[in-house]
């Protein structure tokens, strides 16, 4: 009898920084425990039209949200049906966090993977201007994304505590914000030797919308 693999479905933002960190995290996990397997769902197309009322960053988030049905269909038909696997969770990042709604519908837990680490205290004037843009929607968009962090089962961060101890400690103390969920540091996850191969993999994954590890 074939033993079912414990499948994690990664839904990273289709940008090289998010994709590389997510792939390295999956590779490290699979090397540590061969009971797991991983699938990646990556949306290829860009929005067909750009609203003059929304910043590009906000439009990108809305575009990702509009593909919940496609993601659900892909998980059912391309992950669950072809092979004897047991999906144990969806791994999302900040910009794909709306996909936790898909996880809830399918009865899977969801995990947040912060691909670029936390931020220790920095002056507000070095933050991206869109975080202060209340008229263009940037401020509210990011606020709503962060508010959903507490709906995930755990927060996984591409960093290590010695590097960002203040940020890890502060987040751990925000009990009302994270609902006492566990916080894991698994970094640094880098692909310094195979950068070109990873970019090629990203292009291939985007063309096919899914890449199996």
Active site residues: 18, 93
Joined tokens for residue 70? 């496609």
Residues 6+ apart with CB under 8 A from 102: 68, 71, 72, 75, 90
DSSP string, 88-136: EEEEE-GGGGGGHHHHHHHT--EEEEETT----S--GGGS-GGGG-TTT
Give the C-alpha separation, 146 to 131, whole Å: 12
The end-to-end CA distance of the chain, in Å, is 22
């Amino acid at each position: 009898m074939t033993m079912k693999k414990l499948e994690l479905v990664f839904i990273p933002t289709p940008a090289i920084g998010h994709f590389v960190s997510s792939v390295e995290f999956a590779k490290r996990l699979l090397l540590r425990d061969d009971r797991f397997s991983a699938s990646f769902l990556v949306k290829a197309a860009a929005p067909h039209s750009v609203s003059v009322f929304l910043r590009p960053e906000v439009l990108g988030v809305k575009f990702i949200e509009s593909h919940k049905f496609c993601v659900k269909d892909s998980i059912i038909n391309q992950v669950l049906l072809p092979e004897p696997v047991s999906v144990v969770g969806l791994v999302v990042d900040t910009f794909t966090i709306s996909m936790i709604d898909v996880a809830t519908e399918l009865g899977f837990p969801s995990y947040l993977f912060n691909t670029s680490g936390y931020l220790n205290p920095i002056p507000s004037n070095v933050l991206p201007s869109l975080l202060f843009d209340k008229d263009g929607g940037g401020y509210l968009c990011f606020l709503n994304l962060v508010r959903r962090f507490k709906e995930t089962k755990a927060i996984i961060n591409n960093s290590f505590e010695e590097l960002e101890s203040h940020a890890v400690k502060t987040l751990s103390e925000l009990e009302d914000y994270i609902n006492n969920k566990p916080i894991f540091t698994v970094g640094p996850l880098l692909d310094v030797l195979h950068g070109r191969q990873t970019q090629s993999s990203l292009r291939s994954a985007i063309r096919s919308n899914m890449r199996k590890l």
